[in-house]
Amino acid sequence: MNGGEPEGQPRVVLVRHGETEWSLQYRHTSHTDLPLTEHGRQAAASLRPLLASRQFALVLTSPRQRARETAALAGFSNAEVCDDLQEWDYGDDEGRTTAEIREERPGWSVWTDGPKNGETITHVAARADRVIDRTLRAGGDVLVFAHAHIMRVLTARWLTLEPELGKRFLLRTAAPSRLGWEHDYRVIEEWSCRAD
């Protein structure tokens, strides 16, 4: 931590869930409730000593199995389920890769075009903003277990950027990131850090 942060401002540790079969294949996964792979379970469990060394005023998880399982393996089986942390609803693009979608819609991007019959980025950003509001009122640091796109939008909003700039923040599975402060500015302190 640097010495320029405001006294008592909460930090937010973000943890994308561990690996699933679909994350390995880069498939858009929202409401499909997949378990972790064995490698994903091992990576999630390896987070336990790192996260156990910190105190959290609030621990939140997406309701999806892959996030809840990651939280439990990391030592936070009592994490509070937060519906706002569900992954972007991909609508008709659920289970498809970007390459498959671009065969029908050349140049497609979830960030600019959105999923077909799915959730708008504006709606995803509104959910992220509600999570940020909760973290700022938590009275201490907050730990979040969720998914790549919702947390990338959340990071953009933490930095007071437009939500589509979340495309600039690649998140690996089971790799913690930390959002914090320098003086009175919200910043990224650490990003997608995993020893491998």
Residue type, 53: S
Considering 17, 28, 147, 149, which one is annotated as catalytic? 17
Nearest CA to 29 out of 79, 97, 85 is that of 97
Considering 19, 87, 94, 119, which one is annotated as catalytic? 87
* Exposure string over 107-131, b if 16+ CB within 10 A, otherwise e: ebebbeebbeebbebeebbebbbeb
* Exposure string over 30-40, b if 16+ CB within 10 A, otherwise e: bebebebbeeb
Q: 69 catalytic, yes or no?
A: no
Asked if residue 70 lies in contact with residue 36, where contact means CB atoms within 8 angstroms, the answer is: yes
Distances (CA, A) of 86 to 75, 90, 148, 196: 21, 11, 10, 27
Query: Does the CA dihedral 147-148-149-152 come out positive or negative?
Result: positive
Asked if residue 13 lies in contact with residue 145, where contact means CB atoms within 8 angstroms, the answer is: no
User: Which tokens is 14 given?
Assistant: 């973000």
Q: 7 catalytic, yes or no?
A: no
Catalytic residues: 17, 87
